[in-house]
Amino acid sequence: MSAVRIAISGGGLAGACLLHALLPHAHLDVHIFESAAAFKEAGMAIGVARNALAALDLIGPSAAQCLDRAGAVPMQGVRFMLAQGEGAGSMIDETKSGQRVTSIVHRAAFLRELLADVPPERMHASKKLDHFDRHSDGSLTLHFTDGTVHECDILIGADGIRSTVRKLILGEDDPAAIPRNTGAWCVMALKPYSDAQASIGKGPVNIEDAREYMWIGNGTYLMHNVLNQGQVVQFIIAVHDKDAESSDRWHRTVSADEIKKHYQDWPPHLYKAVDEVEQPAMYLWEHPPASTYISGSVCIMGDAAHATTPWQGSGGSMSIEDSLILSTLLGRAQTAAEARTSLKVYDQVRRPRTQRIVESSRGTGLIVSGLSEETKLDLGKLRANLLPRWDFIVDFDNEKHRDEAVEMMERELKS
């Protein structure tokens, strides 16, 4: 029996997690292709919530160990605080200690650990996918911009929010083929642990009782959490720029005066935490819902399938869940035809959940920025509406999800 040849386009966290999950299956010949000159991640840390921690455990002990080796910090919970308006300084709500454990990990460190034991001959850098040819037997020839080619039975696009594979599946004319700007921008900064404690106090910044804090203002937002086993604290400030909605702007520079204007009415101890210097900012984009994640032998996963805003911290977690389902189904596929069936099942089970999370995150962003017409800065309404928005995300049975996908695949193969 010949091996099922799988190509992963995209060497970020989604592709690396899937590769890690697929490698134990000896009948799968898996290769990963990265457009950059090296396999690396940039940007903010990610939260790996309880649902994704369970998915990592189901993928296997080595996957969970990667998170630990990357220096992940377990959060004891999340506190939502009101920074402006009547009741400023009040706690809106908090997750119970231990109820919703989230591990915060730096992207680059997690990626490094996921790829640490991958055979070098399976990793290919400087390989940007241009297009692919389909053959009568369902196999594919991948064409890269450097003129090289690769033959495979299955192509999995894990190539991020500006995915080439997504455009090839949906078609250039499909409005869902490209992402959209939500209008919100954010600035990220890392500060030494001692400096952060001196700025906002030892209570909110405490490695012994590590929690995420989300501060809600009038059109403004601040979040902080502890990284790298307590060495640094990550700060994120965000503001909604209505004029940027649906624009093609990805980045901007925010002046010191603009930052001061947005945050000058915040409590003094929080205002001190916001650097009043010119800062690079990034806009937050998301994908419109796609009609499908697959086309025959080709599929998309992670941000290529369901790029989301970070308001509910679920982008990385969805990629881990995707990896669990794809690796489980492909691991059971003994032929290329069965592998194509596994992609069909993956689309059916993953698309509804992931697109619901993208939609929920957008709405949550309005709430935590004080812009929701339903809640605004009303302490009581925020308490009633905010925290329950995470329930369907974290209170999710990934083992049941996996088993249902396996049963669906078995039915498809028998039909």
pLDDT at 44 (0 to 100): 73
Q: How far apart, in whole angstroms, are the C-alpha atoms of residue 341 and residue 246?
A: 36
β-bridge mates for residue 238, sequence order: 186, 221
Give the CB-side neighbour count of residue 310, counting CA atoms within 13 A: 22
Residue 198 CA to its chain's centroid (Å): 31
pLDDT at 28 (0 to 100): 98
Q: Buried b / exposed e across 92-101, counting CB within 10 Å, b at 16+?
A: bbbbeeeebb
pLDDT at 100 (0 to 100): 46
pLDDT at 296 (0 to 100): 97
Q: How far apart, in whole angstroms, are the C-alpha atoms of residue 92 and residue 76?
A: 17
Q: Where are the domains of the chain?
A: 4-74+105-179+290-372
- Taking a C-beta distance cutoff of 8 angstroms, is the pair 319, 303 a contact? yes
CATH classification (class only), 4-74+105-179+290-372: alpha beta
Distances from the Cα of 184 to the Cα of 12, 14, 118, 175, angstroms: 24, 24, 37, 21
**How confident is the chain (415 residues) per 10-residue block, as mean pLDDT?**
93 97 97 95 83 96 93 85 89 67 88 96 97 97 98 98 97 96 94 87 81 92 84 91 94 93 89 85 97 98 98 95 98 97 98 98 96 94 92 96 98 93
Question: Any idea what DSSP says for residue 74?
Answer: E
